[in-house]
Structure 1
Amino acid sequence: MRIILILLAGLLSIHGFGQNCDCLANFKFLENKISKDYAGFADKVNSSTIDEYNKIKEIYTLKAQEISSIKRCELLLSKWLEYFNDKHLGLEITKNIYWTFKKIDSTTVLFRIPTFAWEAKPLIDSLIKSNLETISSTPILILDLRGNGGGIDYSYLELLPLIYTHPYESKGAAWWASEGNIRSFEEALENGTIRKGFEEETKELIKALKLNPNTFVTTDKEDSVKRDTVFKYPLKVGVIVNDFCASSCEQFILAAKNSEKTTVFGTNTLGVLDYSNSGTADMPTENIKVRFPKTRSNRLPEYPIDNIGIEPDVRITLPDNLNLKSEVDEWVLFVKEYLEKELEQK
């Protein structure tokens, strides 16, 4: 994969990601490129600012040494670029990850899912339905979620029965019952912008919020997840993540970790889950909206995820790959071989 540094109107590639990402090497490249080729460098870093610049450079050098994954490295480098206060400077990560469903061999099925966006649900459901016989007769299922920035929990619901092994408790989230949040739900009902099939549920939520103003309200009637069917196959499920996995992708990982079949491979996820279910509000100036979460996870304060991420069960330190089509790359082979060995030991 590559990170693209935008310098004025030009594009420069930053290569060399290893151990997922060699962030120190990328920071050194970036600092050298900016100091030599950025037209504004001499104006920004001069005799009166050089000491401050060198101190900041030293701090970021130390921070970069501690980072070994792509997204977190990009966040760090972007923060460093803010020193120059130039909107022409920026980083951009390119991702070319394709939807993939394929039977690798007699033991393993690969299902690559790059997003849980609302519009992705029909495709996810269709791929599961049309390939259910294959999934339910093959020992290993690999769910590759690299690059999946989330979407909505509704999109992954049909995946859960495939990996279910026993009842578990789902922590859920609580809604903040502010006057503004209540009004936004009422307006959504009046305007017909509530997703079809969720109207009655929204009305019940409004009632509960009005009864408990300015508190957190949990509307889940039952936190226990229990299903009637446990599929014999797959025997093992490997879920692959990197630190692009966020929001609904992370919520899926929490659910998947309740399955005795499932092992999570890769890196820490991004850590964007403690506050979710975002709403928007119009600002006084036309065409500007503010977005803000309306729910707080019931995991808090004991089990925070924001800015930490979810730890994988098995860490992968191979170079990351964000240009995935239908190929079986090193990460998938690592997971496949790991799970095959586990099956041999049973």
Structure 2
Amino acid sequence: MLKKILPLFPLFLITNVQAQTCNCKESYQWVKKTFEENDAGYAYILKTKGQQAYELHNGLTLKKVEKITQLDDCLEELKNWVRFFRTDHFRFTKTKEAISVQEAAGNSKPVRDSQFSPEEFKKYLSGKKTIEDIEGIWETRGSTVAIKKHDGEYRGITLSAVAPAWKAGDTKFVIKADLKSGTRYLSNFQPKQVDKVRVLGKSVLQLDDLILKRVLPGVADDKGAEEYYLVKTATSPFGYKRDSSTVYVHINSFNYENKKAIDSLLKALHNTIVSTPNLIIDLRDCQGGSDVSMEKIIPYLYTNPMRSVMAEFYSTPLNNRIWEELSKRADADKEEQETYGKIASLMKSKVGQFVNIFGKDVEETNLDTIYENPRSVGIIIHENNFSTTEEFILKAKQSKKVKFFGRKTGGALDVSNMIEAVAPQGNFVFEYCISRSLRIPEFPVDDMGIHPDFYLDKSIPENEWVNYTSKILNYSRRAH
């Protein structure tokens, strides 16, 4: 059953990128026209919010883009324009050519501490009797950073880095002494404000989306901090038997390319899962992917038939190119190619219409086996869950075994199946959606998100979420 289309190709050829500056008005007009004519959610939101509000929004945007000459500023304003329709399920990405032009034109230089001595700093650390602050040596995604307090602030100084542009002694970030804000230096050494600093346990430090793990001084930290670091840095799914009553699994992505890794992990853990009363599935930072990647998880949750509402696709000449592309993909088998070819022909005959290519409005999952274990399943969710992950959540909510923990999801599911279009100037890619769920308007998810059964408030730090979920599952098991 085709429910989510395979990874897609850009629909325009990339043109030459001449300079770091851009014609933002021209880019805005192209994005506006492309979105109005092709996005599956455009007409629905326009009807909801009204033409007058839309025209006012367009007028304000036009005044802003006429004054913008820098690409980064332009893309931010284009994002603000699309947010009239939804907060997510669209994307603007600079092309490699544009990034190269920006880097060539950039004149930022690293802030370097030539006096810093790693050896002296390690000797200094060895003399500290207690760990009272964040001074130490930390690692992040293959790079190491020394954090030293100097002149009332903490400086993160590069010791080694994966990126060749970074050299030993370059300042990676500066954090204020109160650990509430600071400054990071990006790959082009441009400064960026850090809005949120979090110290989790004694071994994990998070600066917005940058996460570090303490290497020196060594600490025997709690399992929660270690798990949280793995969750935030994992590039593949992982799992293990956490204790005598709980199996823990983290799914980092439902991308089609990740299906094999998910299936392999579940196969390796199968006997453990079906002989253990509790299962925790951690979906933090799992942003979406393909429905086929969730198939092997469903049997562990299943207690009764599960219904999934289908989607319909918007037919336009631009959108329909993707079906032709898919029918010619070398990695698709003959049956898939024929299926996509038939869809392409159908869509061409229905230009300007929404088309249900599935032949039914609802798909129902019926399984023969209901596992005795796990008896209780806790699924951890938060605001960085979108798209297919939310589809999985809607399906899992129908199980009598499942409870959800965390915060509400991001809300990007009503319109979906993003495809790419490259701007005429060749400096960015715009992704929009070509399908609309048959759930709307009765059961919307976009912008509202899906709420957990157990809201984990700010007094429960994220490195304690798994512990808290495990505790509640054990209470539930004892109650039965």
The TM-score normalised by the length of structure 1 is 0.69
3-state SS of 2:319 partner: helix
Match of 2:473 in 1: 339
Cα distance in 2 for residues equivalent to 1:262 and 1:201: 35
**Aligned counterpart for 2:340 among listed residues 191, 199, 202:** 202
Give the 3 Å change call, closer, same or farther, for CA 319–120 of structure 1 in structure 2: same
Instruction: Determine if the alignment matches structure 1 residue 130 to structure 2 residue 268.
Output: yes
Instruction: Determine if the alignment matches structure 1 residue 301 to structure 2 residue 441.
Output: yes
- Whether the 8 Å contact between 2:175 and 2:182 is mirrored in structure 1 is no
Give the 3 Å change call, closer, same or farther, for CA 232–92 of structure 1 in structure 2: closer
Match of 1:256 in 2: 396
Q: Deviations over 1:138-162 (max 9, x none)?
A: 1111101112222222222211122
What is the Cα deviation at residue 270 of structure 1?
1.2
Match of 1:269 in 2: 409
Give the 3 Å change call, closer, same or farther, for CA 298–136 of structure 1 in structure 2: same
Instruction: Determine if the alignment matches structure 1 residue 225 to structure 2 residue 365.
Output: yes
Give the 3 Å change call, closer, same or farther, for CA 128–10 of structure 1 in structure 2: closer
Indicate the larger mover: 309-318 or 214-223. Answer: 214-223
**Letter paired with 1:319:** P
- Whether the 8 Å contact between 2:307 and 2:395 is mirrored in structure 1 is no
Give the 3 Å change call, closer, same or farther, for CA 134–267 of structure 1 in structure 2: same
**Aligned counterpart for 1:105 among listed residues 243, 267, 279:** 243
Instruction: Determine if the alignment matches structure 1 residue 319 to structure 2 residue 456.
Output: no
**Letter paired with 1:303:** F
What is the Cα deviation at residue 207 of structure 1?
3.7
Q: Deviations over 1:85-121 (max 9, x none)?
A: xxxxx96554324743111222211011122222221
3-state SS of 2:347 partner: helix
Instruction: Determine if the alignment matches structure 1 residue 96 to structure 2 residue 233.
Output: yes
Give the 3 Å change call, closer, same or farther, for CA 283–183 of structure 1 in structure 2: same
Cα distance in 1 for residues equivalent to 2:328 and 2:350: 22
Cα distance in 1 for residues equivalent to 2:252 and 2:461: 18
Match of 1:160 in 2: 298
3-state SS of 1:240 partner: strand
3-state SS of 1:332 partner: helix
Match of 1:241 in 2: 381
Name stretches of at least 5 consecutive residues in structure 1 with no aligned partner: 1-8, 17-24, 32-37, 40-63, 71-89, 322-329
**Letter paired with 2:444:** P
Give the 3 Å change call, closer, same or farther, for CA 188–97 of structure 1 in structure 2: closer
- Whether the 8 Å contact between 2:312 and 2:357 is mirrored in structure 1 is yes
Cα distance in 2 for residues equivalent to 1:178 and 1:213: 5
* Bigger Rg over Cα: 2
- Whether the 8 Å contact between 2:343 and 2:357 is mirrored in structure 1 is yes
Indicate the larger mover: 96-105 or 269-278. Answer: 96-105
- Whether the 8 Å contact between 2:327 and 2:339 is mirrored in structure 1 is no
Q: Which runs of structure 2 are paired with 1:15-164 in the superposition (5 Å)?
A: 29=181, 92-94=209-211, 95-97=232-234, 99-164=237-302
3-state SS of 1:212 partner: coil
Indicate the larger mover: 183-192 or 260-269. Answer: 183-192
Q: Deviations over 1:212-270 (max 9, x none)?
A: 33121122345222222222211111101121112222111111111111111100011
Cα distance in 1 for residues equivalent to 2:210 and 2:335: 37
3-state SS of 2:262 partner: helix
- Whether the 8 Å contact between 1:148 and 1:245 is mirrored in structure 2 is yes
Cα distance in 2 for residues equivalent to 1:241 and 1:188: 32
Query: In proportion to residue count, which structure has more strand?
Result: 2
- Whether the 8 Å contact between 2:378 and 2:405 is mirrored in structure 1 is yes
Instruction: Determine if the alignment matches structure 1 residue 12 to structure 2 residue 152.
Output: no
Give the 3 Å change call, closer, same or farther, for CA 193–227 of structure 1 in structure 2: same
**Letter paired with 1:170:** S
Q: Deviations over 1:40-67 (max 9, x none)?
A: xxxxxxxxxxxxxxxxxxxxxxxx9xxx
What is the Cα deviation at residue 287 of structure 1?
5.7
Give the 3 Å change call, closer, same or farther, for CA 296–232 of structure 1 in structure 2: same
**Letter paired with 2:283:** L
Give the 3 Å change call, closer, same or farther, for CA 295–316 of structure 1 in structure 2: same
Indicate the larger mover: 151-160 or 208-217. Answer: 208-217
Match of 2:310 in 1: 172
3-state SS of 2:448 partner: coil
Cα distance in 2 for residues equivalent to 1:156 and 1:13: 40
Cα distance in 2 for residues equivalent to 1:248 and 1:345: 33
3-state SS of 1:131 partner: helix
- Whether the 8 Å contact between 2:238 and 2:265 is mirrored in structure 1 is no
- Whether the 8 Å contact between 1:149 and 1:246 is mirrored in structure 2 is yes
What is the Cα deviation at residue 170 of structure 1?
0.9
Cα distance in 2 for residues equivalent to 1:15 and 1:192: 56
What is the Cα deviation at residue 196 of structure 1?
7.9
Match of 1:56 in 2: none
- Whether the 8 Å contact between 2:328 and 2:337 is mirrored in structure 1 is no
Corresponding residue pairs, total = 276
Q: How well do the aligned residues superpose, as a CA RMSD in angstroms?
A: 3.7
- Whether the 8 Å contact between 1:97 and 1:147 is mirrored in structure 2 is no
Cα distance in 1 for residues equivalent to 2:335 and 2:462: 40
- Whether the 8 Å contact between 2:173 and 2:182 is mirrored in structure 1 is no
Indicate the larger mover: 183-192 or 253-262. Answer: 183-192
Cα distance in 1 for residues equivalent to 2:333 and 2:386: 23
**Aligned counterpart for 2:320 among listed residues 171, 182, 188:** 182
- Whether the 8 Å contact between 2:327 and 2:338 is mirrored in structure 1 is no
**Letter paired with 2:300:** L
Give the 3 Å change call, closer, same or farther, for CA 342–91 of structure 1 in structure 2: closer
**Letter paired with 2:336:** F
Name stretches of at least 5 consecutive residues in structure 2 with no aligned partner: 1-170, 184-189, 199-206, 212-231
